[in-house]
Structure 1
């Protein structure tokens, strides 16, 4: 009977722990620094959990000077970063995405003030009076020296101007080459074909494959719909895309948005949580990437045709 009660208690504890949001804390040793100084930025996460700490991103006005290792303190895992700034102002260390047991969470943001270094330019100095100059009359040799110098300088200037005239008289201005702009759809299609030729996942490079695959999709969406897609988290990008879909009335259905979210989330799990999908899942994600690009391309082309029809009318 005791064993049954003990087992039930342990099982209930596991369920409660699984449903409870893990404790995550961020802190710095100071929030006010001068230009060039460093602060210690620490992320705390629970121990005995599978934790993947982030590579700090979106540090506008701040830079990561050094990323330190993970320390263990009692019941916490501590990940430290040394951060500095070279511009004065108030800058946010924005929310960072951390994975705990293959599930994404976000840290709180912190405000850092960077001030200029005050320089004391006032120094005590001892001043002395200036003695008067004694003027002497120029001799003939000194006058002749200055006359020859001015003559030589004048001749040099005349020769230089004549040389420039003959040098540039018949010179034609170089023809500026027009920069060839490749449409986002064509560029994305070519990059998908190049990715398949590399055969990354076939050679056990699944992480590299998903990184390039999701970057191709993100880059296409950013260039085609003019939203920030490469330097945002999956949740931030999806929020921007949903908002743009409503404002521009693009017509992206919920299924397409769901497939895109699943593709990007799976890419995050592979890159940060080191998950390894099976071959069927990898091929399915490759097909979903192509389908998403095709769907958005058709919608954009349809919108362009509507605009042209309105202009003609």
Structure 2
């Protein structure tokens, strides 16, 4: 064991003396090639720079050595800087500097051979270099040299919320999406009809509509103030004609007054028809002959219209079934609704699959 150590130390001393005896530069004609290293001794994993400088005439052509990932076995090249070119002597000379960032992970004494630079096709060499790589000093308990400790166990990384936030939120968001997809699939398969509720406004009986309209005419004072009876009788007779149409079933709106009276004679007593006939005759005189009836005559015609409605109205049966105000209509699902439903299912499934892929990928990256 002592012999091996002695041999290693003699080898290191030999290379050190050899490096010191080598010339610092090699000159030939006008070309100078120099190599240097920032530190000849580093610890394992430390970095140092190797610098190559070439001086030549400006008209000469130069080719630097091609170096890739290692200088020699055991010395790794981490980075190769871009060559720096400087002009000297009024641009008659060039100084080219190339730097290499190197490191080593094995303790040893390394010999770096000369760099070869080609200038105008002729090789020129730099000096050789040496690099000594040392291990980190390890403290030793000299009082208890027999005690030693094995490697420590693997430490678990602490839980960091930000690392798992995306996984947790996506997982929580996937659950309601899955429930929604299941619901839409069930709806798509059962093909149940769509239920639509329609509100129905109950229709008033004809006599009620007519009496409401007469009350409106009676309350309207504009015709009294202007003295225009034509608008009054027009509205009153139109109301009676509409009632007759709804009550008796013939189109009184398209008939003359005499035609209406003749048709009603087949239905009711003569006295009631005479009162209605007087109303129509007065209305015709007002509209076509510019007749101006007295106020009591207007009121009498209004009363006669109300009496005619009350005498001819049909009372509702109190035992009759009330008409519903709302009905429910079943409509079959349309083709476009099915397409929209199926498209929604496909989009949701794709979104869920994408989220699950992201969740599984992040869990794998965080755990393995």
TM-score, normalization by structure 1: 0.31
> Which protein is richer in strand relative to its size?
2
Give 1 or 2 for the bigger CA radius of gyration.
2
TM-score, normalization by structure 2: 0.26
